[in-house]
Amino acid sequence: MKPAPFDYHAPETIQGALELLDRHGSDARVIAGGQSLVPMLALRLARPEVLVDLNRIPELAGIRDCGGTIRIGAMTRQAHALASPLLRDRLPLLGYGLYNVGHPPTRARGTIGGSVSHADPAAETPAVMLAYDARMVLAGKSGTRTVDVADFMLGTFETCIEEGEILTEIVVDVPPAEGTAFVELSRRKGDFAMASAAARMRLNEDGACASARLVIGAVAPVPLRFDAVTDALTGQVVTEGLLREAVSLIDLERFEFDNPDISLAYRRHIGPVLARRALMQAFERAGERRS
């Protein structure tokens, strides 16, 4: 199928993009890597009258090391982020997650900002950003605002981006040395996750868990953080048995999630299994980083 006709604009500045969005209101849609939007246009699931292409705006792309924080431009390609030595060293969980996003050709075009803005419940990048407590910078006609990732993601394909706004960058605080892991189950490599788990863990001097973070994706409309699980680990020496006990606190029953392909019961079953594996890997990697 072919997309419905649309006007196309490729501004070269953020200001230019915002003016176009302001002029065209709800008729306009931005396009980033096009890896989700182009198929939606072709299937006519999206029918914007105006497309505002962000690809010619250099200030939207790139990764900046700002000391205690790293700022990732929304138009940074997934492949670029995956290859970045800075991110590999300082925010390795992002690379572990991105490795599971689609395939090399989709990652060559797909952007970090497009992935979080698209807000697919099974997408890896939003789960990683939640695990890092990232902040989203949104630009609009009347200025910029910064939103915590937990408030940014509202539901399936739904974020707090308002009409006329674009996501310009993502800000992540660089954590102290820790172990991280991203584990997912999908039918084939590159397919969307049936369920996924992102984990971070820091150890104290005597090898016990000093702090941890756990996010499970693809089991609810938005990725979910499980602080009760990580609270149960904090201060403890991590063992297989302790992890089993901790993940038994995960209750996925109260989250509804429609997906005709994979039953919710199965997702609810594998979510805690993946969580345990991710936490164990994060623990082992935390130990390697200390030695």
Applying CB under 6 A, the residues found at the interface with ligand FAD are 29-37, 54, 74, 101-102, 106, 110-111, 113-115, 117-118, 120, 123-125, 161, 166-167, 190, 192
DSSP string, 98-133: HTTSS-HHHHHH-BHHHHHHHT-TT-HHHHHHHHTT
Cβ atoms 60, 30 nearer than 8 A: no
Regarding beta strands 50-53 and 28-31, do their DSSP bridges make them parallel or antiparallel, or are they unpaired? parallel
CB 79, min distance to ligand FAD, A: 10
- Which C-beta is closer to ligand FAD: that of 106 or that of 236? 106
Which strands form 143-148's sheet, in the order they lie side by side? Answer: 63-66, 69-73, 166-173, 135-140, 143-148
Cβ nearer to ligand FAD, comparing 27 with 89: 27
Of 59 and 89, which CB lies nearer to ligand FAD in the complex structure?
59
CB of 36 to ligand FAD, least distance (A): 4
Q: Residue 114 or residue 272: which is nearer to ligand FAD going by CB? A: 114
Q: How many residues does the chain have?
A: 291
Least Å distance, CB 89 to ligand FAD, is 23
Pick between residue 29 and residue 267 the one whose CB is nearest to ligand FAD: 29
The strand ranges marked E within 152-223 are: 153-155, 158-159, 166-173, 179-185, 195-203, 209-217
- Closest residue to ligand FAD, Cβ-based? 114
Nearest-approach distance from CB 95 to ligand FAD, in angstroms? 14
Closest CA relative to residue 150, chosen from 57, 224, 226: 224
State the nearest-atom distance from the C-beta of 232 to ligand FAD, in Å. 29
